[in-house]
Structure 1
Amino acid sequence: MKPSAGSGPVTLAIMGCGQRGRAYAVYAQQHPERCKIVAVAEPRPKTRARMVQEHTVDSSLTFKSWQAFHAASEETIVTIGRRLADAVLIAVQDHMHAELVEAFAAQGYHILCEKPMATSIPHCLRIEESIKKAGVIFGMGHVLRYSPYSQAITEIVRSGQLGDLVNVVHIEPIGHTHFAHSYVRGNWAREMDSSFSLMTKSCHDIDIICSWLSPEKPERVSSFGGLRHFRKEAKPTTAGDSTRCLSCPAERSCPYSAKKSNVVYLEPVQAGKTGWPAAVIVDGIADIENVTDALHSGPYGQCVYESRNDVCDNQVVNIQFSSGATASFTMVAYTLLQCERQTRLHFTHGEIVGDMTDFTVTDFRTGATEKRSPMREGGGHGGGDLGLIRAFTEAVRTGRQELLGTDVTEVLSSHLTVFAAEESRRKGVTVDCGQFERKAREGWLLTGKQ
């Protein structure tokens, strides 16, 4: 695979300028010598204008839709034999990923795709085929792999200094307000609009567990969980017939109020906190007027007990690997911690216990315990967002997929483990992962790869 960029910075086109697109684009501002945003596509006018302004994108490379960028790119490829950028960053809604990956891989773009890979098994298989056929660099938004914290742990795992990894216990405390924002009121609240919550929220948790135990493969998986609390029957009787927080008599005592200062939107904005999550519920700057309007008329002001959500708010996953090693993962909404994973890795000669900021390493042979605090370099996911875009940019510059530490087939494999876990939860059975993948691939071929 040949490098795409010359001596200058790697050029990126961003498809989707929302919270995730912006999180990756920060790298171009911090390191303009390595990365430059040269084109954007975004349907929301104020959100699009903000990205254009921040990265001084030329008006001729500013588009209202990804299709418009794709068409302009096709014309440029045909007329002058070159693409509009070295790579495309896909940060649109989850169900659109396969279509965009397929379209831009065919044009020869290297691709960084936000998680999840896709929302159905056929779409994941389409992505694998598209990337392999095009022979382009592929990065996946499994940002947990790329934080200094995770990479320090991975280095110990790979070194073998604590012996064989036998068991992983990993917990994702989503945070009660974060879950209410994203998975009750937000874009990932209903499976038919996106996917099940284990996929949309925690596919990168399953991925990093699989990566620590690699090259061993998941052999069997079981899972349990459901929607426990965010249902109409759990609504406080004092709320009466109210369906919105701003007019609810129980609002001050509700832990999921869209108004209260210790939760998410209105009062935090009044105090000057205009970042996530308030920033993503409006087009443009999150000010009092815009946020108030959104809470009066949009889904983010709805009562969490009157919303149309249907995805799990708690789930456990158990995995047995081909080596006999085991792993357990818990995803739960009802926590004060927000996405600050708790992890224990148990080896034959020691253990690692971490909280996504610090971790302790204990060697059973010497009895020594050492606390390690990897560098915190800012950005989301403990530096994982910046770590991923940095690795992707360098992979594109050098033409080396291995710099990302994974490839499209490994990404597919961890996603299939997530799909298998969800099948176990729904059917109440233990799923054979190898058989599950064989059936998925065979079914895809039999249906004409649709």
Structure 2
Amino acid sequence: MKKVTSIVIGAGLRGGHVYSQYALDHPDEFQVVAVAEPDKERRESFAKRHNIPEELCFESYEELLGKEKLADCAMICTMDRMHYEPTIMALKKGYHVLCEKPMSPDKKEIIEMGEMAKKYDRILSVCHVLRYSPFFSKLKELLEEGKIGRLMTIQHMEEVGYWHQAHSFVRGNWRNAEESSPMILQKCCHDMDIMLWLADSKCESLSSFGELSYFTEENAPEGAPAYCLDGCPHRDECAFYAPRFYLENLDGYLVRAVTDQTDPEHVLEALKKGPYGRCVFHCDNTVVDHQSVDIKFENQVTASFLMTAFTDQCARRIRLMGTKGEIKGDMDAGTIEIRDFVSGNLETIELHTPANGHNGSDMSMMHDFVRMVGEGRKGKTDAAVSVESHLMALAAEEARITGQVVNLRGFANENK
């Protein structure tokens, strides 16, 4: 396989520290040759790590994509509402594209991105990294083997974690649906995609319920200030007190969102008036903190999905119920239990699950994407499938808002 080259658009946490890490770990296979990032400090730091010359560092994707084609592919890791334009520009310019999820919060843009990839015969791979996890890969394998007969029912839960909800969806970049995208799309399009994959069928219809119930002004303790460092009287009994929340995790990835300089002095300074220092009850967040979705697939498989912020762990648990048996799985524990209805036997599978990067899925996805580009083969996250799972998420949000059952085909074709 020839060495694959890439440009990076958006050098934040995912683009700057996760997916691009593959180039540093596998320099003979993959190289980043140019970057577009509006934040000067991040841009310069990224360029230094990847030995990118100054003339190939740009403030905007428009500048970078305005140049002649510089590489084989483009990694687009901007904010949710900034994926569409650079993706279309990159496809037209001749780049294969790896696009961070979600593709877009706009139905028409999602559909067009899939159509443009087909029109220009380019790879458009969406970062549905869970398909690459040892856990979900094994579940797919067991279903294809007929281990539990015909699949009939899926019960799936995403435990967001109280701390992750506070960081990303109350204080952070994905707190406001109008600025980014609805929770069910931004956080849970992974899960829509996984259920679609496991059901092995297109979605027919969905219903959904959910609310923003807890992280609101009316639940603020008496006397709680707008910022934690403004003398909050509840600091000792609050799980979300920002200085403790971040200073006790200086080696973790969350603190990198607060400041690129992660020593205590810079973190405290950033928390004084920065977004991550706000009281979780005094933010401009609008996304839900719990939601359920019921799904009917065209092959008569039914599924129920639950997303909740009110858990200790950030985890995914699933049950697959078939005509001959049942599977229970815990992704983060790496355990799968298979119960056979005829014999009554219980089989337990213990998987190796790396602690970082969605249990190792991030690097597995990058490995696959590089080979898709370098060898011209298909991968697990083709744009056509990703369009379907994104539309499922948007239809679920429509169902939540309207209180109606939404037919997916009708939803996809409406105002197309």
With the length of structure 2 as denominator, give the TM-score of the two structures: 0.96
**Counterpart contact for 2:206–2:293, Cα < 8 Å:** yes
Match of 1:253 in 2: 237
CA distance in 1, matches of 2:76, 2:60: 12
Greater shift, 53-62 or 177-186, is seen at 53-62
The counterpart of 1:302, out of the listed 275, 278, 293, is 278
**Counterpart contact for 1:359–1:373, Cα < 8 Å:** yes
Greater shift, 356-365 or 413-422, is seen at 356-365
**Counterpart contact for 1:223–1:317, Cα < 8 Å:** yes
**Counterpart contact for 2:88–2:113, Cα < 8 Å:** yes
Residues 202-217 of structure 1 mapped to structure 2, 5 A cutoff: 202-214=188-200, 216-217=201-202
**Counterpart contact for 2:35–2:43, Cα < 8 Å:** yes
Match of 2:9 in 1: 15
CA RMSD of aligned residues (A): 1.4
Same amino acid, percent of matched pairs: 38
Residues 374-385 of structure 1 mapped to structure 2, 5 A cutoff: 374-377=351-354, 379-385=356-362
Deviation (angstroms), 1:46: 2.0
Deviation (angstroms), 1:254: 0.9
**Counterpart contact for 2:148–2:327, Cα < 8 Å:** no
SS at match of 1:33: coil
CA distance in 1, matches of 2:42, 2:291: 34
CA distance in 2, matches of 1:378, 1:334: 22
**Counterpart contact for 2:224–2:234, Cα < 8 Å:** no
Match of 2:393 in 1: 418
SS at match of 1:191: coil
CA distance in 2, matches of 1:9, 1:316: 44
SS at match of 2:83: helix
**Counterpart contact for 2:162–2:309, Cα < 8 Å:** yes
CA distance in 1, matches of 2:397, 2:372: 33
Match of 1:48 in 2: 43
**Structure 1 residues without counterparts, runs of 5 or longer:** 1-6, 77-82, 445-450
Match of 1:342 in 2: 317
SS at match of 2:149: coil
**Counterpart contact for 1:23–1:379, Cα < 8 Å:** no
**Counterpart contact for 1:101–1:130, Cα < 8 Å:** no
Deviation (angstroms), 1:259: 1.7
Cα deviation, 1:35-61, whole Å, max 9, x if unaligned, reads 111211111122222222222223332
Deviation (angstroms), 1:155: 1.1
- Determine if the alignment matches structure 1 residue 243 to structure 2 residue 237: no
Match of 1:97 in 2: 83
**Structure 2 residues without counterparts, runs of 5 or longer:** none
**Counterpart contact for 1:18–1:47, Cα < 8 Å:** yes
Residues 190-229 of structure 1 mapped to structure 2, 5 A cutoff: 190-214=176-200, 216-229=201-214
CA distance in 2, matches of 1:343, 1:111: 31
Normalized per residue, which structure has more helix?
1
Residues 40-439 of structure 1 mapped to structure 2, 5 A cutoff: 40-72=35-67, 76=68, 83-214=69-200, 216-237=201-222, 240=223, 242-246=225-229, 247-260=231-244, 264-269=245-250, 273=251, 275-282=252-259, 284-338=260-314, 340-356=315-331, 357-377=334-354, 379-401=356-378, 404-439=379-414
With the length of structure 1 as denominator, give the TM-score of the two structures: 0.89
| Aligned-partner residue type, residue 14 of structure 1 | V
Deviation (angstroms), 1:378: 5.3
| Aligned-partner residue type, residue 66 of structure 2 | A
